[in-house]
Amino acid sequence: MAPRKVAKGVYWVGALDWDRRLFDELIPLPDGTSYNAYLIQGDRRVALIDTVDPSKVERLLDSLRDLNIERIDYVVANHAEQDHSGGIPEILEAYPEASVVATPRCRELLMDLLHLPEERIKTVEDGEQLSLGDKTLEFIHAPWVHWPETMLTYLREQRILFTCDLFGSHLATSDLSVRDEGEVYEAAKRYYAEIMMPFRAVIRRHLERIRELEVDVIAPSHGPIYRDPSFILKAYEHWISDEVENEVVIVYVSMHGSTGEMIARLVDALMERGIGVKPFNLTVTDIGELAIALVDAATLVVASPTVLGGPHPSILYAAHIINALRPKLRYIVLITSYAWGGRTLKMLRETLSGLQAEIIDSIEIKGKARERDLERIDRLAEEILNKHQEIGIKEE
Ligand code: FEO
């Protein structure tokens, strides 16, 4: 993969991964991804911003050879996760003069995860600057996007902000910069939902800081570069806000049709009331699509049959992930059907206990729903409508 010019003396030297379909052995990647590394050539020093996934290190080394780079002074490690730091050992071997530049916390992690020698890591404080001659790097500590050691690097003279995972998108594309905004918006929203959503409050503080900088280009470490930073900044401002939409996300599994019948009734009843509904039958759900739906929804309904005395394992898995993702939900409803007993509702309440949302109803139905049960589902839809109106969200 040839290097690509971002600005004068600044090159993309990353790698596209068209075929990768899973990240962290957990997150679906329907559109592949990229690992963006950037080379910055000052008139006195040369810096590399992040590296690439270990599987793509040869690509990075080829790009550096194509640019005839004989010396690298600094390898800036904005983040210790291996999809960006994994190539550092090979770079240090190929460029023996290079020092790694990282936050103190990142240094610890790089030593633990990659066994990097301590003496080759230079730590930088928040706001510290590093001169490359005619170019200056400024480091902005930005912990918890999405690990505790993360930082952003700002190239002052050219107003380029290298944000690593923040503002990224898992999208393999031949476009170096955003060309199709609709495509990138969807991929960036998926990325936010799957990776950044639990850190919404922290990101809000980081955005305030970023607004103080003059930024012409945002260069993340996954997906295309933003030459109009307002596009992604506005999207993030919306996603991290406290505003919720008039939408209900339903996650469910139905083994013999009882839970499915209740959910079908609920979907109709909500739609009749003008409420947006996104039902996810977990037997056919991409967990990333579910995460995206949770970015804006006001209400979550979790519906499960009772299996071996508790929720269906697929529901328990989804509930665990939802709890970890910390979406800005306001309301939760739990529904179960059972034949001879169990602790489904109790276990779901425990699994979702990290969410700051009110459980407005817990419905337990024995066997196949009777007419009175379905009428209760209609009343539930009315209750959800009332709750949405109480917090001032408008009907579609
Ligand atoms: Fe793209 Fe947190 O690594």
Residue 359: pLDDT over 70: yes
**Ligand 1 atom nearest to CA at 164:** 1
pLDDT digits (tens, 9 = 90+) for 263-276: 999 999 999 999 99
Per-residue confidence (pLDDT) for residue 342, from 0 to 100? 86
| Ligand 1 binding pocket, CB closer than 6 Å | 79, 81, 83-84, 146, 165, 221-222
Q: In the predicted model, what is the mean pLDDT of the chain?
A: 97
Ligand 1 center to 122 CA (angstroms):
21
Bridge partners, residue 102, by sequence: 123
**Ligand 1 atom nearest to CA at 146:** 2
Protein residue whose Cα sits closest to atom 2 of ligand 1:
81
pLDDT range class, residue 3, cuts 50, 70, 90: very high
Mean pLDDT of 239-244: 97
Ligand 1 center to 148 CA (angstroms):
12
**Ligand 1 atom nearest to CA at 195:** 2
Ligand 1 center to 84 CA (angstroms):
7
pLDDT digits (tens, 9 = 90+) for 83-135: 999 999 999 999 999 999 999 999 999 999 999 999 999 999 999 999 999 99
Ligand 1 center to 133 CA (angstroms):
30
Per-residue confidence (pLDDT) for residue 180, from 0 to 100? 97
Per-residue confidence (pLDDT) for residue 393, from 0 to 100? 85
Protein residue whose Cα sits closest to atom 1 of ligand 1:
165
pLDDT digits (tens, 9 = 90+) for 309-332: 999 999 999 999 999 999 999 999
Ligand 1 center to 393 CA (angstroms):
35
Mean pLDDT of 354-374: 96
Ligand 1 center to 250 CA (angstroms):
29
CB neighbourhood size of 41 (10 A): 19
pLDDT digits (tens, 9 = 90+) for 152-168: 999 999 999 999 999 99
pLDDT digits (tens, 9 = 90+) for 51-96: 999 999 999 999 999 999 999 999 999 999 999 999 999 999 999 9
pLDDT digits (tens, 9 = 90+) for 169-216: 999 999 999 999 999 999 999 999 999 999 999 999 999 999 999 999
3-state secondary structure string, the chain?
Answer: CCCEEEECCEEECCEEECCCCEECCCEECCCCEEECCEEEECCCCEEEECCCCHHHHHHHHHHHHHCCCCCCCEEECCCCCHHHHCCHHHHHHHCCCCEEEECHHHHHHHHHHHCCCHHHEEECCCCCEEECCCCEEEEEECCCCCCCCCEEEEECCCCEEEEECCCCCCCCCCCCECCCHHHHHHHHHHHHHHHHHHHHHHHHHHHHHHHCCCCCEEEECCCCEECCHHHHHHHHHHHHCCCCEEEEEEEECCCCCHHHHHHHHHHHHHHHCCCEEEEEEHHHCCHHHHHHHHCCEEEEEEEEEEECCEECHHHHHHHHHHHHHCCCCCEEEEEEEECCCCCHHHHHHHHCCCCCCEEEEEEEEECCCCHHHHHHHHHHHHHHHHHHHHCCCCCC
Per-residue confidence (pLDDT) for residue 396, from 0 to 100? 54
List the domains of the chain with CATH numbers. 4-239 (3.60.15.10), 245-388 (3.40.50.360)
Ligand 1 center to 81 CA (angstroms):
5
Protein residue whose Cα sits closest to atom 3 of ligand 1:
81
**Ligand 1 atom nearest to CA at 82:** 3
Per-residue confidence (pLDDT) for residue 395, from 0 to 100? 60
Instruction: Write the Ramachandran bin of 257: left for phi over 0, alpha for psi from -120 to 50, otherwise beta.
Output: left
**Ligand 1 atom nearest to CA at 222:** 1
**Ligand 1 atom nearest to CA at 35:** 1
Ligand 1 center to 193 CA (angstroms):
14
